[in-house]
């Protein structure tokens, strides 16, 4: 049984159907990469999994049980954390308070332990704990956002475009943390525009185009033949595009 699955999931905004009939499994202890052009529906897919947008159809299964009707906070308490596009910190709070709210339901002692773990993962956070989250650099923001999500000690972490707008060195630092998380037994769903980065770390890969799946596999085709990816991005199925 997969840890988290979407079964024929559709979601949208107003009259717009942003994702349609998406069926994907997230396996335990693995990293699923989700790529696709702007507006493909990547973020909407994550929002549908976490309950930030309601489902228009289909099911979200958590260890085989349908959680598609649960509100976002209840799904989060099951063990799903998400880092949203744009980081979305609490600007009126300090870095420490941002992190602590991530571990809202843990005991004080447990929270302290997790905090140490997060700082081990992102040492840069150690020096800015008492700074307001409204004055951080993009890289610091991303680390706080990831740290806040990890404070819940999730089984499944969804991350939406962590590299967006960051200097390559900072992105390296963030990507270095991902294997550690998998080692610890977590599953990660990583949405990205930087395809090369995703191919490096992903165990499996989904390409979305206009709200539909146009590729689902382990990504080896693209590692061997990077040009084939361009065709998929344009919405062609792999065989016709590569031909």
Partner 1 sequence: MDTLANVIVSSILLGGVYFILSLGLNIILGVLDIVNFAHGALIILGAYSTFLINRALHWDPFILVLVDMVVVGVIGAVLYLCYLRFTVNSPLVRMFALIGFNSVVAALLLIFMGSDYRTVPIDLGTWYLGPIPIRVTQVIAFAFAIALGVITIVLLNRTKVGKAVKAVTDDRTSVQLAGINDRRLSLLAFTVGAGLAGAAGGIISTYVTFGSESGLAFAIIAFAIVIVGGLGDIWGGAVASLLVALVLTGVTVYLSSALTNTALFLLVLFVLLVRPRGILGRGRV
Closer to partner 1 by Cβ: residue 51 or 219: 51
80 vs 213, beta carbon nearer partner 1: 80
Q: Does 10 bind ligand ATP (CB under 6 A)?
A: no
Considering only the stretches 37-45, 49-57, 197-205, 218-226, report the one whose residues sit in contact with Mg ion under the rule CB under 5 A. Answer: 37-45
Three-state secondary structure readout of the chain? CCCEEEEEEEEEECCEEEEEEEEEEECCCCEEEEECCCCCCHHHHHHHHHCCCCCCEEEEEECCEECCCCCHHHHHHHCEEEECCCCCCCCCCEHHHHHHHHCCCCCHHHHHHHHHHHHHHCHHHHHHCCCEHHHCCHHHHHHHHHHHHHCCCCCEEEEECCCCCCCHHHHHHHHHHHHHHHHCCCEEEEECCCHHHHHHHCCEEEEEECCEEEEEECCHHHHHCCHHHHHHHCCCCHHHHHC
69 binds partner 1 (CB under 8 A): no
x/- track of binding to partner 1 for residues 153-192 (CB under 8 A): ----------------------------------------
Site for ligand ATP (CB under 6 A): which residue of 13, 54, 167, 179? 13
Q: Which of residues 22-81 bind ligand ATP (CB under 6 A)?
A: 36, 38-44
Is 169 buried (19+), middle (13-18) or exposed (0-12) by CB count in 10 A? Answer: exposed
User: Rule CB under 6 A: is residue 109 a binding residue for ligand ATP?
Assistant: no
In this structure, what token pair is assigned to residue 29?
Answer: 């202890």
Task: Decide whether 42 or 114 has the Cβ nearer to ligand ATP.
Answer: 42
User: Smallest distance from the beta carbon of 106 to partner 1, in angstroms?
Assistant: 10
Q: Which is nearer to ligand ATP, 39 or 217 (CB)?
A: 39
Binding string, 78-107, against Mg ion, x = CB under 5 A? -------x----------------------
Contact pick of 43, 50, 163, 228 for Mg ion (by CB under 5 A): 43
In this chain, which stretch among 100-108, 122-130, 200-208, 235-243 interacts with partner 1, using CB under 8 A?
A: 100-108
Cβ atoms of 52 and 18 within 8 Å: the answer is no
**Contact positions vs partner 1 (CB under 8 A):** 50-52, 71-74, 76-77, 81-82, 84, 88-93, 97, 100-102, 104-105, 148-149, 152
């Amino acid at each position: 049984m997969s840890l988290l699955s979407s079964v024929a999931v559709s979601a949208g905004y107003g009259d717009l159907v942003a994702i349609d009939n998406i069926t994907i499994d997230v396996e335990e202890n693995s990293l699923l990469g989700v790529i696709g052009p702007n507006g493909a529906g990547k973020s909407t897919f994550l929002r549908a999994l976490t309950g930030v947008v309601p489902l228009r159809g289909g099911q979200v299964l958590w260890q085989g049980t349908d959680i598609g009707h649960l509100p976002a906070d209840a799904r989060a308490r099951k063990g799903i954390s998400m880092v949203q596009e744009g980081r979305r910190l609490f600007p009126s709070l300090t870095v420490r308070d941002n992190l602590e709210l991530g571990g809202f339901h843990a005991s004080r002692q447990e929270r302290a332990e997790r905090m140490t773990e997060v700082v081990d993962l992102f040492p840069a956070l150690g020096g800015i704990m008492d700074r307001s989250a409204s004055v951080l650099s993009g890289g610091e923001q991303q680390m706080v956002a990831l740290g806040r999500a990890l404070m819940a000690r999730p089984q499944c972490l969804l991350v939406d475009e962590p590299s967006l707008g960051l200097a390559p060195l900072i992105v390296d630092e963030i990507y270095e943390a991902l294997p550690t998380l998998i080692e610890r037994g977590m599953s990660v769903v990583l949405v990205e525009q930087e395809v090369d980065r995703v191919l490096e770390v992903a165990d499996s890969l989904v390409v979305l185009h206009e709200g539909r799946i146009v590729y689902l596999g382990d990504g080896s085709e693209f590692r061997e033949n990077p040009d084939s990816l361009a065709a998929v991005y344009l919405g062609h199925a792999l065989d016709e595009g590569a031909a």
